[in-house]
Homo-oligomer: A and B are copies of this chain.
Amino acid sequence: MSKTPRYSYLGPEGTFTWEALRLVHEAKGADWVSVSHVGEALADVVSERSDFAMIAMENSVEGGVSAAQDALAEHPGLRIVGEYQVPVRFTLVVRPGTATEDITTIAAHPVAYAQCRKFVEAQLPGHIHSPASSNVQAAKDLIDADGIQAALAPPGVAERYGLDVIANNVGDNPEAETRFVLVRLGGHVPERTGADKTSLIAELPDDGPGRLLEMLEQFATRGVNMSLLESRPIGDAMGRYRFVIDLDGHIHDERVADALMGLRRFSPNVIFLGSYPRANGHRPEVPERYTDEAFVDAQAWLKAVAEGLPDLP
């Protein structure tokens, strides 16, 4: 009898990360472990206290993206097995009975506060910002804390904690989304679906001019498109970088496999983070010469000519 899987996530209930975890079909009925920062969620997986961690990877209002990237770089056994996208909306919440004109202090996670600055500066001039450690914590604290009348919180949090919503959609960018990934320790790579993404981290061999270009040519010559490229300081010296890269395609696609081998030869340190279905289901158009068939044909052709057989047509 298999044990119930455990999922660590930046909690508590109601965070955007929690919303992302609700998108995972297999997580229904599993154990959900709320932790207080991304590093803790990954540490749970590394130490096998949890089976999975859900972490923000891009454009996050809950911070930790750089921390997540750095943590993945330092624990090569970690693997991404899924990607999830959550719209980022904020509400201004108060205790029942509080009026807008009563608000002098707003609790908010610093990143959430930054994302709602235009609204709060226009609507609540002269207010004070009280930093909170999470978007939900900001709202929960309202119940007990002295001198705080309002909080910025994700939708749904007001209802959960018995608060009132004064304003919906108070974020400066109404289209904001955060991209999350589900992380596991090792294990099989998820099946290829045709709408996949491959993530990796790679260092340059040295900082000579054109080195990054050479690295990117490993992808271009195999027709592999990049959807993300981030330089992250390695941390041992200013000016040394590793690159966090997302590719269109799956390691079981021949063109991606070939590019990964090219990268492995080029880079002194390349970490495969995983191949997994894309959140948006987008299927890349692959020109004929980069299809699996083209690779299989080329292998057959090479084998024939290397053995002295005549060229194939």
Chain A residues proximal to chain B, CB less than 8 Å: 36-37, 39, 58-59, 63, 67, 76-77, 79, 85, 110, 114, 117, 129, 131-133, 173, 175-177, 179, 186-189, 205, 207-210, 212-214, 216-231, 233, 235-239, 241, 251-252, 257-258, 260-262, 264-266, 271-272, 280, 289-290, 294-295, 297-299, 301-302, 305-311
Contact = CB atoms under 8 A, between A and B. Distances in A.
Contacts of A236: 175
Question: How often does this chain occur in the complex, in copies?
Answer: 4
A218 B298 CA distance: 13
A264 B229 CA distance: 21
9 smallest A-B Cβ distances: which pairs? A261-B298, A188-B308, A209-B225, A264-B298, A272-B305, A76-B311, A210-B220, A131-B131, A265-B294
Contacts of A207: 225, 227
B220 A307 contact: no
Contacts of A305: 189, 251, 260, 272
A209 B224 contact: yes
B223 A209 contact: yes
A57 B150 CA distance: 32
A311 B271 contact: yes
Given A76-B311, A110-B133, A218-B221, A235 B301 contact: no
Looking at chain A's contact residues, is the secondary structure mostly helix, strand, loop, or mixed?
Answer: mixed
A309 B132 CA distance: 40
A208 B287 CA distance: 12
B133 A132 contact: no
A78 to B, nearest CB: 10
A210 B287 CA distance: 13
A133 B132 CA distance: 9
A236 B274 CA distance: 27
20 contacts: A39-B114, A85-B238, A110-B133, A173-B235, A175-B235, A175-B236, A186-B309, A186-B310, A189-B308, A205-B289, A207-B225, A209-B219, A209-B220, A209-B226, A212-B229, A213-B220, A217-B221, A221-B262, A264-B301, A265-B290
Contacts of A67: 114
A239 to B, nearest CB: 6
A114 B230 CA distance: 21
B238 A226 contact: no
